[in-house]
Amino acid sequence: MNAKNGDDRMVRNYRSCKAKEEDRLIQLQKNKSKNAGKNAQKELQKRLVHLAADGKGIRGVPSTPADQWSRWRMKAIENPSHAPEEWFKLDHDDSGWDQVTLPTAWPPAHVGLLRTTFKVKDASAFESLQVRAVLYKLHNMRVYLNGHLVAKVNNIPKFPISFPLTPYAMEILKNGSNTLAVSTEHGKRWVEFSFKLMGRLKDDAKTGK
């Protein structure tokens, strides 16, 4: 083998080794970023507090112990126009409605009106509120907090969804008792309605409820 061929081979080997090392470093960086993302997600999960909970685990949120399930009042109506006036207000009398825990269901092609209450010790401990729910085949959902509209969802996918309430929700969340009201329409088949309201604590917050 002449000197030129030997030099060419050394160059090729060097380039090959360099390329492999670059690939290794890129993969390490990807793994680092991926692990960092997972760790960040875990930290966010630690800061989530159940405010209005049910017993059904939703992707990323474990099932809630039975003694922490929220008790809801529910009324099924054939048409949104049949809803009682200001049914979502704090002082509406829902004592005649059915009492349920979630998940629940109501007749197809009907609208479900649901109300519950939850207590907060320190509303200032939260930075945001978000919903995690299973709403397959449901549509035209409205979420009210303390009598005020804080979310509208129309195109609901098949899988569990997660969405934040409007920043306005943080302004009307209050210490003590809060009222949560939800309306949504069934399609033409029986399906379950599962709904959780979560509060995300601020970094320096120690407790939420």
**How far apart are alpha carbons 37 and 200 in whole angstroms?**
18
Q: Which pLDDT tens digit goes with each residue over 26-51?
A: 666 666 555 444 444 444 444 466 67
Q: Which long-range contacts (CB under 8 A, 24 or more apart) does 66-72 make?
A: 69/101, 69/102, 70/101, 70/102, 70/116, 70/118, 71/99, 71/100, 71/101, 71/116, 72/99, 72/100, 72/101, 72/102, 72/104, 72/114, 72/115, 72/116
Cβ(132)–Cβ(165) under 8 Å?
no
Q: Which pLDDT tens digit goes with each residue over 89-103?
A: 999 999 999 998 888
Q: Which pLDDT tens digit goes with each residue over 107-153?
A: 888 999 999 999 999 999 999 999 988 777 788 889 999 999 999 98
Kindly report the pTM of this predicted structure.
0.72
Domain boundaries, the chain: 1-46, 49-201
Check residue 105 and give its pLDDT. Answer: 84
Architecture of domain 49-201: Sandwich (2.60)
Please identify which residue in the block is written with the tokens 């969804």: 161
